[in-house]
Structure 1
Amino acid sequence: MARKRKGDSVSVLGVVLVGLVALVASVPVEVWLFVGGVVLAFFAYRYFKAKPSSEPPETQPMPQSKATPRPRARALKSSDMDEPVSVTSTAAASPSTATSEYRLPAAPKGFGNATWLGAGQPVNVAGFSIPGGLIYVGTRLKTPSGDNDPCLIDPSLSVSKSGDYTERQMGYWPSYGAISSSARGAYLKWLAGGRQDPSADIGYVFLFFYGLERRAILDASSDAAARAEWPVIAEELRRLLDIYGQKSGSFRRYAVELLNWVSTVEHPERLYEKAVPSFPRSLELPLYVRHALGIAAVDGVPVPAGLALAWARLEPSVVLRTPAIRCPEQFDALFVQKYEQQFGAGMVLPRNRTKLKLVYRPASAGFRGYNDLRLTFGEVPDVSVLTGPVKKLQDLVDATSKELESYSRFVGKSVTGKNSLEGLLQLPPTLWPEQAQKALQQLKARIGEGMVAMPFQDLLNALGATTAFTKDKTLSLARTLESANVGFEPDVLAGAKTPKPEEKVVLFALPPSEQLSRTNGPYLAAALTLQLASAVATSDGEFGIKEMGHLRETVLSWTHLTPGQKRRLLAHLRLLMQAPASLTALKKKFEPLELNVKETIAAFMATVAQSDGEVSPGEVKMLEKVYKALGVDSKKVFSDVHAVAAGTKPTAAAVAKVEESSFKLDPARIAALQKDTEKVSALLANIFTDTDEPAVAVAEPVEAETEAEPSEASAGLLGLDEAHTSLARMMLSRPEWSRAELLDVAADLDLMLDGALEHINEAAFEAHDMALFEGEDPVTVNTEILDKVKA
């Protein structure tokens, strides 16, 4: 055999080495790492097995083939994330068994099954301190598909500190595990900031919402602790809706649906009796409201006002106008008032055939695989399908809004002045705030069933006015007072001149529920009679207490007037006593009229004056003065008076008889003449309309001119005249009086009791801001005023 050459051997060896190198290079690195690990483990095993024990065999811990299992998941605390897990093994061979502790490396933060953090439970994730709770933290929270739930915050995933939650960084179905590290950082930053920045992208809000959804529905289906959190979740949903509900219609729809679930899944009987929780207005009436209405229909009970208000506000088919949105408190209060006025205890709903139910549509992809998420309510109907009740609600909403239009416009221009008197005058007094209502009630208590005279500025001060009071404001004040059954003289609503701050006004009690007419002929003629009488009496110096009393009795005897008209005339008379009408001004208004028109007015006033069927000599004397002021022959008084009774001119004997005593008239004839009032009403209307522009009160309250307070020696008690001072002193002598007793006292003093009592009380109010007495029969003297009056 031929011998190999040395060069051939070297070549073969090189080829072999190159092949080995290539073979080694082709083996993956992971294989070599595995092999290395096996080799190291083998040598370590041989080393520890061969090493002799330093302890006696009977006390040496038994070797363990594998580590002790970890404890089950529990609620996480922020401190738990950084503490190492301690595993302890204890031998049981003898009483002297020793305990050894093996410390393993710390587990990753939040490693293991997810833990739900309740409201307010803090946690630290990737350096972000999250204070609010209501999130799942961990590495495992499986869904039916086998994936982790999208809401799960996995602390083992990378997080970028530079994430911006105002930017859109996620798709339509976001998942914490699938989004970028930058988006995860943005989400944790939004959570750490309290979940409240309105500029946050709605995707982060949805990511948080997924956790609430899972907790409220899936966990609560088998966990009582989760069900106990429904109110907390409901409150959080309302908070989120307030911040993000208008930003995303999709979020609003899903959040309202979950709010429906947690608010209705468990409910008490007679749900309609409970206060309705807050719900945002959405595309459908909230389930809670529909459920309460349905139970009311089943029970056959009226729908309470509070529930009806919630229905009106939340029913998507009901149109809410600006006042309902701009002035919610006033709208709600007025709606309830009108609802109770119209429906009493409430509407009774029919029991319709459509049954109530909720089929839940989850927002989270983690619900895929869960079917039939629904709530049913037995035979409870869904009354939201009915159109009749909704139409009634819409009509009520429109009526309420219309009444609030002027106030709404005022608030739209001056938000800060909504509680000023100027603003409140645009509202019914029943809607005023407590302090303003208290001031009005004090004023009404001061008036009682009578009347009170005071400077106009004092009235404004009592009601809290702080700004200039123009003609329009005064008209609003008069309308507001009248709605509270308080009359205002001068009658600016009928065209009277607006009073100046220092001028007197008279407030008087109006009968409730009476529609006061200021435009019919009899009332206008009666008012003109009083004006002319005061003007004539002032001109000849005869307008004193007796004449005032006579005019008062005359007004009370006019049976063709309503109680409200009589009270207004008496208040007008009181004002005329303070400031009598100007005869010159009245004559000026009559000058443009034709003589036949003047005679028509005069004849009608004669009819009114004796409308009680009797004419006294005093009334004839008053009519003569009125005729003369009108420019009509005063002798026509007799012919006009007798024309009512017989349609013929009076004889001299008849005239003499009238001058000596009263005579009876034909009631049928009187009634016939009083029916024809339209012409007279038109003629008199212009007499009571003051075309002069009223003076405007200054912006700052003007101190009214005060009359010098006379001493008791010169002017009597409380500034009263002698007769009224005597009556007041007599009343102060004991705490209580019967009406019969006071009638006797008044008769002795030649006073009309009712007028005298009103006058005394007004004087007491002006002097000490309190009444001297209260009540009608018996009359009780106010003991608090005793020391002040006697001082």
Structure 2
Amino acid sequence: MAGRSLPGGMLYIGKLSRGDAVPARNVEVIDPTLPIDWRKPDFAGRDMDYWPAYHSITPRSRAAYLLWLEGGRWAPDAYIGYVFLYFYGLERRALVDAQQDPAARADLPRILGEVVRLLTVYGDNSSFRQYATEFQQVLRALITRGEGPAPDPVEHDKWPSPLTLRVGIGRFAAEGRPVPVDWAWSWAMLHPEIYARTPATRCPNEFRALFATRYRARHADGIKVRPLKSRVDLSYRPASGGLRTTSWHLDVPDVLTAAAPTKALKALIESCTDDLDAYSRLIGRQPEAAGTLPALALLPDELFTGDLDGLRPVRDLVDRTLPDDASQARFELADLTSLWPSRTPGKFAKADAVGLAQLLDKFGIGIEPDVRMGAPVQSTGPAVLFRVTAAQPATATPEYTAATTLLHLAAVVSTADDDVSAAERDHLVSHLESSLHLTPGERIRLTAHLDWLLASKLKLTGLTKRLGGLTDAQRAHVAEFATAIAAVDGVVSPGEVDTLRKIYKLLGQEPDSVYTELHALTAASTRPAPATEPVVVVPADTGPTGYLIPPPPKPEPPVGAVRLDPALVEAKMRESAAVAALLADVFDDEPEEAAPPPPAPVVAVDLVGSLDATHSTLLRELATRPSWSRADFDALCAKAGLLPEGALDVLNEAAVEAADEPVVEDDDTQLVINDYAMGELLA
């Protein structure tokens, strides 16, 4: 063309007659006979009209346009009018020629590729982006006719929803086929009435994997959509002034916003964002935490698989400690806590203990002690792992708390003689389980709790606070029950008597009254009730003749031990339900609420976006410095009555919504303010 090589084709070239070279007609055709001014190309487009045509622009503008074509049509600083002039030809080929010419129809995929390329170079121009994006959707719909892969939500906007999505979902409905998971994902993410929250963008891989798993679980092969009467219509208003608006009526039902599937997809998206929220918040605060045990512990169960690389050390420890044929086993707690990266180096806090217990939950393993059930925070010492074969309570119920208190008493008196037999231990646990009506999950945990108690150095001091709220009558009742526990094996050793005296003292009872209670449980202290009917003196001999083998002699009790009547002991043990009930009442009492402080004076505050007044004030104070020390930030939060970590979450969530970036970034030594995010929030 005038001595220039225009590579790539996709151009209309030809000499126009005087009748063809009129406004709004053949605007894209390059007429080689028209003059070109190579000396002063109009690169800035100063001579260009709003709707240019090659035959009507100046020779200087033609030179600049042809040079842009010669350069490969990629110069990012090119005047956008030249890009549109080239774009007009692509529109004509797809919207006019392709309607009748099979060769032009075969060019549609190539034209689509060119439009996508132009968008990557000139998509910053809002006008071109709008036309090119809509044209791209029309091309995809014309090419695929609802077949092929689902549209990628990353490449499309939901306003308007991609035509390929409408056509594709419509075809599934028309043919009665279930919507597969990849199409359902595009449908949900590009639905104009469904809004995925921050976890969808902050954790895109986890979010999509969770969506796919739950979609298959809820809908098997996929949602089946009932076809509606409305049909999908394609309409496109070309950028070219030489073309009219083009419309197509497709015989495909328009079901994109149908009520039933919209409701199902919306519920699924909400469940995924809700269950990923805790994980998302952690990653938002600490991006480097991805793949660590604290992060993995927050993943929903569907995403938690035992072959995750970060889980290998914990999985190996569980396999070593708890073989397949074992229901529970003791181990050294430090072996487990040493694998957990604590929030504060060198300190194993309650939050760490909770996270570790949650992590084990996902393996189907419980742990004692468990801080969620009221146990103290420990990083060393004996512990017990047990297999979870029934639903575990999320928190300790009053009944379970009462059971553990009784079990603590039982363990103390049972270990007083340094001899706790397996039979004695099982009898204690089974009796408490049945008499206190615990759930199956609580029963499993109670057995592990006793094993941990017996492995620990038991002290009575841990019970002082828990028993402090009992009345004198209730204390006496608990003391009697403790005596029955000591006598459960029929013998009370001198060591157990000493322990009982300590318990009586702890309960505010006279220690010497132990002997009175024990005396009441001895066989000698009871007399048979008077007979009210004939008494058998010698039973009839109906058994076989011969000599009976005598039973083995029972082991002699320790020197000084008291032998008790088993029937009386069992009768006393049956009162454990009543003892537990009164303990449950004590533990279930709510502390009296302190009187509310007087209301603070109301101060008008300019709210920032969706933030409330308190967080808006905090944000404006943070904006006064480029960085803050952790101590200064904590002081600001204390002044505002906010928890520091919670305040950071709220501010950063608002910033991510507004600017896709957190507003406060923690670099371990100080909190740095993100100027861009702050500007977007305060704009």
**Is the structural similarity TM-score above 0.5?**
yes
Tell me which residue corresponds to 1:659.
566
The answer to whether the 8 Å contact 2:372/2:395 transfers is no
Per-residue deviation, 1:328: 2.0
Change (3 A) 1:639 1:685: farther
- Three-state SS of the structure 1 residue aligned to 2:11 is strand
Tell me which residue corresponds to 2:596.
none
In the alignment, the residues of structure 2 paired with residue 509 and residue 234 of structure 1 have an alpha-carbon distance, to the nearest angstrom, of 58
The answer to whether the 8 Å contact 1:284/1:315 transfers is no
In the alignment, the residues of structure 2 paired with residue 227 and residue 328 of structure 1 have an alpha-carbon distance, to the nearest angstrom, of 37
- Three-state SS of the structure 1 residue aligned to 2:205 is helix
The answer to whether the 8 Å contact 2:304/2:362 transfers is no
In the alignment, the residues of structure 2 paired with residue 675 and residue 306 of structure 1 have an alpha-carbon distance, to the nearest angstrom, of 55
Tell me which residue corresponds to 1:406.
278
Alignment of 1:491-640 (within 5 A): 491-500=370-379, 502-511=380-389, 514=391, 516=393, 518-538=395-415, 540-543=417-420, 560-591=437-468, 593-598=470-475, 617=489, 628=504, 631=507
User: Deviation string for 1:241-295 (max 9, x for gaps)?
Assistant: 56765x45544443333333332325478x5x95444541231222222223222
Alignment of 1:458-497 (within 5 A): 458-459=335-336, 468=345, 470-497=349-376
- In structure 2, what residue type is equivalent to 1:435? D
- Three-state SS of the structure 2 residue aligned to 1:404 is helix
The answer to whether the 8 Å contact 1:333/1:431 transfers is yes
Tell me which residue corresponds to 1:377.
250
The answer to whether the 8 Å contact 1:492/1:498 transfers is yes
Tell me which residue corresponds to 2:185.
309
1:136 aligns with 2:15: no
- In structure 2, what residue type is equivalent to 1:262? L
1:336 aligns with 2:212: yes
The answer to whether the 8 Å contact 1:290/1:382 transfers is yes
- Three-state SS of the structure 1 residue aligned to 2:256 is helix
Change (3 A) 1:375 1:169: same
- In structure 2, what residue type is equivalent to 1:136? L
Per-residue deviation, 1:382: 0.5
Per-residue deviation, 1:329: 2.0
Alignment of 1:13-92 (within 5 A): none
Alignment of 1:273-292 (within 5 A): 275-278=150-153, 279-292=155-168
User: Deviation string for 1:750-790 (max 9, x for gaps)?
Assistant: xxxxxxxxxxxxxxxxxxxxxxxxxxxxxxxxxxxxxxxxx
Tell me which residue corresponds to 1:116.
none
- Three-state SS of the structure 2 residue aligned to 1:367 is coil
- In structure 2, what residue type is equivalent to 1:476? G
- In structure 1, what residue type is equivalent to 2:585? K
Change (3 A) 1:178 1:662: farther
Per-residue deviation, 1:314: 0.5
- Three-state SS of the structure 1 residue aligned to 2:249 is strand
The answer to whether the 8 Å contact 1:260/1:287 transfers is yes
In the alignment, the residues of structure 1 paired with residue 127 and residue 227 of structure 2 have an alpha-carbon distance, to the nearest angstrom, of 33
1:427 aligns with 2:299: yes
In the alignment, the residues of structure 1 paired with residue 119 and residue 197 of structure 2 have an alpha-carbon distance, to the nearest angstrom, of 22
- Three-state SS of the structure 2 residue aligned to 1:534 is helix
Per-residue deviation, 1:383: 1.0
- Three-state SS of the structure 2 residue aligned to 1:394 is helix
The answer to whether the 8 Å contact 1:150/1:177 transfers is yes
| Selected match of 1:263 from 132, 136, 140 | 140
Per-residue deviation, 1:584: 2.2
Change (3 A) 1:466 1:591: closer
In the alignment, the residues of structure 2 paired with residue 135 and residue 254 of structure 1 have an alpha-carbon distance, to the nearest angstrom, of 18
Per-residue deviation, 1:323: 2.3
Per-residue deviation, 1:504: 4.7
Tell me which residue corresponds to 2:240.
364
- In structure 2, what residue type is equivalent to 1:679? D
Question: Structure 2-normalised TM-score?
Answer: 0.62
- Three-state SS of the structure 1 residue aligned to 2:393 is coil
- In structure 2, what residue type is equivalent to 1:254? Y
In the alignment, the residues of structure 1 paired with residue 353 and residue 17 of structure 2 have an alpha-carbon distance, to the nearest angstrom, of 72
Tell me which residue corresponds to 1:213.
91
Per-residue deviation, 1:312: 1.7
The answer to whether the 8 Å contact 2:490/2:564 transfers is no
User: Deviation string for 1:522-561 (max 9, x for gaps)?
Assistant: 3222222333333444554335767656656667767933
Change (3 A) 1:230 1:182: closer
Per-residue deviation, 1:354: 0.6
User: Deviation string for 1:70-114 (max 9, x for gaps)?
Assistant: xxxxxxxxxxxxxxxxxxxxxxxxxxxxxxxxxxxxx8446xxxx
- Three-state SS of the structure 2 residue aligned to 1:573 is helix
The answer to whether the 8 Å contact 1:312/1:394 transfers is yes
Q: Any unmatched runs of 5+ in structure 1? A: 1-106, 111-123, 643-649, 687-791
Tell me which residue corresponds to 2:174.
298
User: Deviation string for 1:724-755 (max 9, x for gaps)?
Assistant: xxxxxxxxxxxxxxxxxxxxxxxxxxxxxxxx
Out of 658-667 and 350-359, give the one that drifted further.
658-667
The answer to whether the 8 Å contact 1:290/1:383 transfers is yes
The answer to whether the 8 Å contact 1:518/1:524 transfers is no
Question: Structure 1-normalised TM-score?
Answer: 0.55
- In structure 1, what residue type is equivalent to 2:11? Y
Change (3 A) 1:357 1:564: same
In the alignment, the residues of structure 1 paired with residue 401 and residue 198 of structure 2 have an alpha-carbon distance, to the nearest angstrom, of 41
Aligned pair count reads 537
In the alignment, the residues of structure 2 paired with residue 304 and residue 177 of structure 1 have an alpha-carbon distance, to the nearest angstrom, of 51
Over the aligned positions, Cα root-mean-square deviation in angstroms equals 5.2
Out of 180-189 and 620-629, give the one that drifted further.
620-629
In the alignment, the residues of structure 1 paired with residue 207 and residue 350 of structure 2 have an alpha-carbon distance, to the nearest angstrom, of 27
Q: Any unmatched runs of 5+ in structure 2? A: 530-561, 593-683
Per-residue deviation, 1:679: 1.9
Per-residue deviation, 1:482: 2.5
Tell me which residue corresponds to 1:415.
287
Larger C-alpha radius of gyration, 1 or 2?
Answer: 1
Per-residue deviation, 1:652: 6.3
Per-residue deviation, 1:567: 2.6
Per-residue deviation, 1:384: 2.7
User: Deviation string for 1:153-191 (max 9, x for gaps)?
Assistant: 7788445798767x9885543456655646964895598
